[in-house]
Amino acid sequence: MKKRVLSIFLAGLMVVGLVGCSGGSSDSSDGGKEEKKVTLRYVSWMTGGEDKAIIEKFMEENPDINVEIEALDGTNYDKLLKTRLTSGDAPDVFLIQPNQYEKFAKEGFLMDVSDQPAMETLKESPALDKLYDIDGKKYAYPVCTQGGPLPVYYNVKYFEKLGITPPETMDEFWTVCDKIKADGVEPLVFGDKDAWTFEMFFRDRHFIGEQLSKDPEWGLALYSGDVKSSEMFKPEFEMAQMMVDNGYIGKSSLTMTYPQSVTYFVDGKAAMLPQGTWVPGLDEIKNADPETFELGCFTLPGDEVNGKIYTTGSSDRSIVISSETKYPEEAKIFFDWFTKEENLGEYLSSQSLTTFLPIEYAVDPVLEDYIKDLASDKYEIIMSQKAAMPAGFNSMMEKGFQSILAGSPASDELGKLDTEFEKFKSSIVVTE
């Protein structure tokens, strides 16, 4: 199904060997001269080879440009990539994560791409256009964007067996968890050995809604000291403890990686998997036994404030060009091809990703109601922040939630937040 998304809102290391190859000419076997290919180095954290197909297609259409793919560990992507950039070993084109954009741009690592053709499409999504604007210039383009509460995936056949329907409120959600627990199955699973999985359930896009309704610039409120971290995130930390205490999350979640949690879910050991929009495209899901498993999803319920559900959105992946590339023209050709509507749409469709850009792409049928829900007027999705949190913020939150899952009281973890926040506060990028 093709769907036009118009909105202001909404691992295995795979390395293809690096072969240095520059432009120029060489002697051919018949004594003539032949032009060498230019080789661009492309880096991302897609360690499952997710980007291979689209890049192979580019090379088929652009035979004079070779692209070598390297995937870095996503958990340490910021540190690993920063080391490459500062050591003079920057890839020509690469993907960046949300907390890297302003930092890398202001440190001079990114090429100005304001005049590239795709920027005209970006203007059609004002919230995204604003998000990428730095002093009137653009240094990246959104590959995929997301926002709002997480989709919660469930086994339709199991829900039908228990007579359960997807919940529409948080009270109904907890009731569903109780019924599943009583049946001897873990209600929820998180691969929290990869700490981001549990933290993402509580991320500011959802439970911080009341704070967002008062001040959309929640990051600036933290930075300026108007509110302490321990105050702002108290509801989330206490909710995490409640979920652990009530047995809604088993201890197995603490020792599983994200891929293991998907298998655990498909095997019927847990009834629900809160995760990103890419889940329907995973091989484990697509290859599940249809006799016992059918994927469904619902939108994690949210509390309304003044008739709206306030939440945040972000650009999960952005594509950039290194300011130090030796092949700027070829890098721009690759950048323009990747960001062209039909190619980006194909990339999104192949990985079950979403975007807030007004482009055509296929939405997995499982996600249709979720997408429609978030596109409705009841959601107020905040995209940009004047105070951009660095990687330390995510680490702080992930560690706190992981500790609660391991048995630490929420009060103890809240007590650590303010001290931890001060350690990276100076790294927060603030824009006027």
Q: Would you state the pLDDT for residue 208?
A: 61
pLDDT digits (tens, 9 = 90+) for 162-171: 999 999 999 9
Task: Collect all residues with Cβ–Cβ distance below 8 Å to 211 and sequence separation of at least 6.
Answer: 218, 221, 227, 232
Helix H or strand E encompassing 4: strand 2-4
Distance CA(44)–CA(221), nearest Å, equals 32
Residue 19 pLDDT > 70: no
Alpha helices in 319-430 (DSSP H): 328-339, 341-351, 368-374, 391-405, 410-424
Q: How do residues 288-338 score in pLDDT, each as one tens digit?
A: 999 999 999 999 888 788 888 888 888 889 999 999 999 999 999 999 999
* 253 within 8 A of 189, measured Cβ to Cβ: yes
Side-chain half-sphere CA neighbours of 187 within 13 A? 18
pLDDT exceeds 70 at position 423: yes
Give the pLDDT confidence score for residue 404 in this predicted structure: 96
pLDDT over 50 at 27, yes or no = no
In this structure, which long-range contacts are made by residues 127-130, counting pairs with CB atoms below 8 Å and at least 24 apart in sequence?
Answer: 127/8, 127/9, 127/313, 127/356, 127/381, 127/383, 127/384, 128/8, 128/315, 128/356, 128/357, 128/383, 130/383, 130/384
Question: Is it the case that residue 16 has pLDDT exceeding 60?
Answer: no
The whole-number pLDDT of residue 316 equals 86
State the pLDDT at residue 132.
92
Residues linked to residue 3 through DSSP beta bridges, in sequence order: 361
Among 14-18, 47-51, 140-144, 275-279, top mean pLDDT goes to: 140-144
pLDDT tens-digit readout, 336-394? 999 999 999 999 998 888 888 889 998 889 998 988 888 788 888 887 778 878 878 88
Counting residues of the chain whose pLDDT is more than 90, the rounded percentage is 60
What average pLDDT does the segment 250-275 reach?
95
Q: What does the chain come to in residues?
A: 432
Other beta carbons less than 10 A from residue 384's beta carbon: 19
Query: CB burial class (10 A; 0-12, 13-18, 19+) of residue 171?
Result: exposed
**Residue labelled with tokens 């603030």:** 430
Q: At what angle do helices 328-339 and 341-351 cross, to 10 degrees?
A: 60
Secondary structure letter of residue 308 according to DSSP: B
| pLDDT at residue 8 greater than cutoff 80 | no
Asked if residue 430 has pLDDT above 70, the reply is yes
Q: Please report the DSSP string for 64-123 in residue order.
A: TEEEEEEE--GGGHHHHHHHHHHTT---SEEEE-GGGHHHHHHTT-B---TTSTTHHHHT
Pairing status of strand 387-388 against strand 33-35? unpaired
Helix (H) or strand (E) holding 317: strand 309-321
Higher local confidence (pLDDT), 211 or 45: 45
- Is residue 5 over pLDDT 80? no
Task: Give the pLDDT confidence of 204-215 residue by residue, as tens digits.
Answer: 555 566 778 887
Please give the mean pLDDT across all residues of the chain: 87
Q: What pLDDT score was predicted for residue 206? A: 53
Would you say residue 32 has pLDDT above 50?
Answer: no
pLDDT per residue over 172-200, tens digit each?
A: 999 999 999 999 999 999 999 999 899 98
Express each pLDDT in 215-256 by its tens digit.
788 889 999 999 999 998 998 899 999 999 999 999 899 999
